Amino acid sequence: MSIPVSNLTPALQVSKLCFGTMTFGEQNSLSESFNLLDKAFDSGINFFDSAEMYPVPQRAESYGRSEEYFGRWIRERKVARHRLVFATKVSGPSGQMTWIRGGPTSLDSRNIKEAIDNSLLRAQTDYIDLYQVHWPDRYVPMFGETDYDPANQYNHVSFEEQLDALGRAVDAGKIRFIGVSNETPYGVMKFLQAAEKNPAYPRIISVQNSYNLLCRNFDSGLAECCHLERVKLLAYSPLAMGLLSGKYLLPDGGAADARLNLFRGRYSEGESRYNLSNPTIREAIKAYISIAERYDIHPVSLAIAFVLGHPLVSSAIFGATKLWQLEQVVSACEVKLNAEIIADIDEVHSRFPNPCS
């Protein structure tokens, strides 16, 4: 089958499925990662997403392996670089990942430049197609937080300094395009306004935020910004970290090596948002699985097809630790949801609005 494509920009065509590499080097060995990349590429996926902090859960011992494995795959399989779209991300301030530039402490120009150079070295590539700010330098509610608290605001690196550093990397040929991730309407518009005022600054082309049946926050504010400003959505967690497959609702609670089981208590960013002890989340999952059963659609296909059907989604970023999981997602491209199915989905959404915000 053929995986559909879309234009992130007229100069950057990507597959509508993007293979995320954040399990490489933790859940997946080098050989397993190569097999998954082979299958994804042979299936028609040309778009691959990573980050300097991957794999997750993040540890000093495994830091950078995901980019490294991807780069080794390109070289050892002798894949022509122009046939791939490689996206990666710079970590924002954390204070917890002390092995990444001391925290990292901020997204100032020094940190951005160092992060880009190190990602290029790990991936052993001459350039990065899409370089993204993983999360904002400033305070914003994210990873399960929903309410903005003004008391948490602190001084942050200006949008102009970040764009200046990114622009210098573009001019040097190190990166082609830039994007943001886990961003808000305010942040997207400030980046765009700064680039509009100074033609030396690159313009963001994408925002990588969570979007799935259990988290449709993008539609509330960001959708208008992205539509009118021609910024594409790269939707991560289209399966809500596997919840929408239904595997965690099985009598045995899912396989022992399923991510939320394997890393229970060690992956706060995921567990805070995809909290299976929340009865509302469980009821919402059951309702969506019921829709899939009613129309004889696999739950994975329902979830992926819903995301791909969004007019502002350029690509859905998914992860897979096993070949059969990857095949399930790829086959979802064959599924189109009709108006009746969408109406049923929206009815469930009205009863359980965004339980995994």
Residues tagged active-site: 54
The single-letter DSSP state of residue 112 is H
Token output for 127: 């350039």
Token output for 52: 């300097």
Encoded amino acid at 114, one letter: E
Residues ≥6 apart with Cβ < 8 Å to 280: 352, 355
Euclidean distance between CA atoms 224 and 350, whole angstroms: 20
Residues ≥6 apart with Cβ < 8 Å to 257: 27, 321
Euclidean distance between CA atoms 125 and 204, whole angstroms: 22
Neighbours of 77 (CB within 10 A): 11
* Sign, CA torsion 124/128/129/135: positive
Euclidean distance between CA atoms 320 and 325, whole angstroms: 6
Euclidean distance between CA atoms 171 and 164, whole angstroms: 10
CA-only gyration radius of the chain, Å: 19
